[in-house]
Chain A
């Protein structure tokens, strides 16, 4: 069974750093893209970027370029999303999702990680 299991909820202060994770199982992790999607409270879905764990080829939504870093470790089947300096506006639910391409089609999703940034 294909599963994407994300790390738990985080509460952080502005200016702190954070790295959240998404562990895949039940399939060959290296050969499927992993996308990250943001959902701010009460708002819609925003595609942040995507990584191919096999060679770490990474593409960012220009709106998120420079704001976050997407990485992956194929040896432990885990993708990451990290911030070096969080802002209150980073408060959101973050989902990872498995994709076969850049079409926006993702049929497996993680359960989501809630990130709360508050002083």
Chain B
């Protein structure tokens, strides 16, 4: 069981919007930046969001991130079938002195 809690799955129709939550604590999300990753089946994770709400170059603005207190949220608008993947949040935990990842959320685009 991960210290960062994500819903196991979310789903929405093409073109719709979905949000994925990541709940932590004072020692991780509460104190440190959050990153979000997309992992397509059989591939390495891909950075979507860093420092809570910044997008690396090449990541479309359909993907957004936010953080409030000890929780973070990934938003995806204009859903496409190619967005079907596992999504992970990640952050440093100052007490455990390790990077933590959430358990992952499987996105299904119906």
Hey, which bits of chain A sit against chain B, CB under 8 A?
35, 37, 44-47, 50, 59, 61-63, 95, 97, 102-107, 109-112
Contact = CB atoms under 8 A, between A and B. Distances in A.
Nearest to B6: A44
Given A62-B97, A104-B99, A95 B45 contact: yes
Interface string B25-51: 000000011110101000011110011
Please give me the 5 A-B residue pairs with the lowest Cβ-Cβ distance, nearest first. Answer: A104-B90, A47-B99, A61-B98, A109-B44, A45-B101
Interface residues of B, number: 28
Contacts of A35: 99
Contacts of A61: 96, 98-99
B101 A105 contact: no
Given A104-B90, A104-B91, A109 B98 contact: no
Given A47-B100, A61-B98, A105 B88 contact: no
Interface string B66-105: 0000000000000000000010101110001111111110
Contacts of A62: 96-98
Interface of B: 2, 32-35, 37, 39, 44-47, 50-51, 56, 86, 88, 90-92, 96-104
Nearest to B48: A107
A63 B88 CA distance: 19
B92 A106 contact: no
A44 B2 contact: yes
B97 A103 contact: no
A106 B39 CA distance: 13
A44 B97 contact: no
A107 B92 contact: no
Contacts of A97: 44-45
Contacts of B103: 44
A98 to B, nearest CB: 10
A45 B88 contact: yes
A14 B1 CA distance: 26
